[in-house]
Amino acid sequence: MSWLSYIFPQTVAELSSPYNRSIRINEEKGRYKLLVNGARESGAYIEDLWRYAFTHLQFPGKRKIRNILVLGTAGGTVIHVLHELFPSSRITGVDIDAVMISVGETYFGLAEVPGLRLICNDANVFVKDYTGSKFDLVVTDIFVGPDIPDFVVTPVFQQRVKNILRKNGLTIINYLRQPGYEKKAPKLFAVLSSLYTKVSSVDRNNNRFFLAQ
C-alpha cells in the first residue's frame, strides 16, 4: 500500500474483459477500491452499504447460517462481511467474469477466505442447473458496472433462487432505487411477495436491499 493514496487515489491496475470494458483497481487511504465501467463495486463504500443493510433488516434473526451462495462476487466485499458474521459457514461465490474472480483473489483477499468456493458461471444458469446441497442464504449482488440485468426481477429467476433454498431460508438482493429503477424495484418487491411469506426492504443512498424469507 502507498502512503500517497492518503493524499489522492492511486491507480493500481486497469483491466478489461468480455463482460466489462473497464475494470480499475484504485488505492484510496490505504484500501483498494474496485471501479467497473465507472461504478463502485467493492471497497469501503460498498462495505458500508452491506453493513447498514444487514443491521437495519435485522438479519438473520435466530436462523443458523451454514451454507451461503453469493451471486455476483465483484471484489468480494459482501463475502468478507458474511465471513465475519458467519466464520464457520461455507460460502460459494458465482460470477460470470473470470477476470473479476481473479481481481477478487489478487487484490481483495478472496483467496484467503476459508471455506470459499469461487465458480465462473452465469448466475441465471447456475441457479437453474444447481443440484447440490441447498443454501441457508442466497445473496444476489449482480451488477454490470452501474446496471443490474433485467432477469434479476423476473419470477422465473426468483423462483429458481427459492428452489435452491432450504426450508426457512433467506434471500437478500442488492438493488437500485435511482433513475431507471423506479418501476423495477416495486416489481421486484411484488415478485418476492408472491413467493415468500415475509418481504422487507431498506434504502441506503442509491441502493435498495430486499430481504425475503
- pTM (2 d.p.): 0.93
Binning pLDDT at 50, 70 and 90, where does residue 173 land?
very high
Q: Is the pLDDT of residue 8 over 90?
A: no
- CATH number where 142 lies: 3.40.50.150
Neighbours of 142 (CB within 10 A): 25
Q: Give 121-161 pLDDT, tens digit per residue.
A: 999 999 999 999 999 999 999 998 889 999 999 999 999 99
In a domain, 132, yes or no: yes
Q: Give 64-85 pLDDT, tens digit per residue.
A: 899 999 999 989 999 999 999 9
pLDDT at 182: 84
Q: Give 21-31 pLDDT, tens digit per residue.
A: 999 999 987 78
Return the minimum-mean-pLDDT range out of 112-116, 147-151, 178-182, 194-198. 178-182
Q: Is the pLDDT of residue 212 over 70?
A: yes
d(CA 107, CA 35): 13
In a domain, 206, yes or no: yes
Map grid coordinates 465471513 to a residue. 83
Task: Take residue 144 and report the three cell numbers written for it.
Answer: 454490470
Binning pLDDT at 50, 70 and 90, where does residue 38 land?
confident
Return the minimum-mean-pLDDT range out of 25-39, 65-79, 88-102. 25-39
Task: Take residue 88 and report the three cell numbers written for it.
Answer: 464457520
Task: Take residue 147 and report the three cell numbers written for it.
Answer: 446496471
Total structural domains within the chain: 1
d(CA 206, CA 24): 21
**Whether the Cβ atoms of residue 165 and residue 133 lie closer than 8 Å to each other:** no
| Domain, as residue range, for 133 | 47-212
d(CA 42, CA 78): 9
In a domain, 130, yes or no: yes
In a domain, 21, yes or no: no
Query: What value does the mean pLDDT take over residues 174-180?
Result: 90
In a domain, 23, yes or no: no
Query: What value does the mean pLDDT take over residues 102-127?
Result: 95
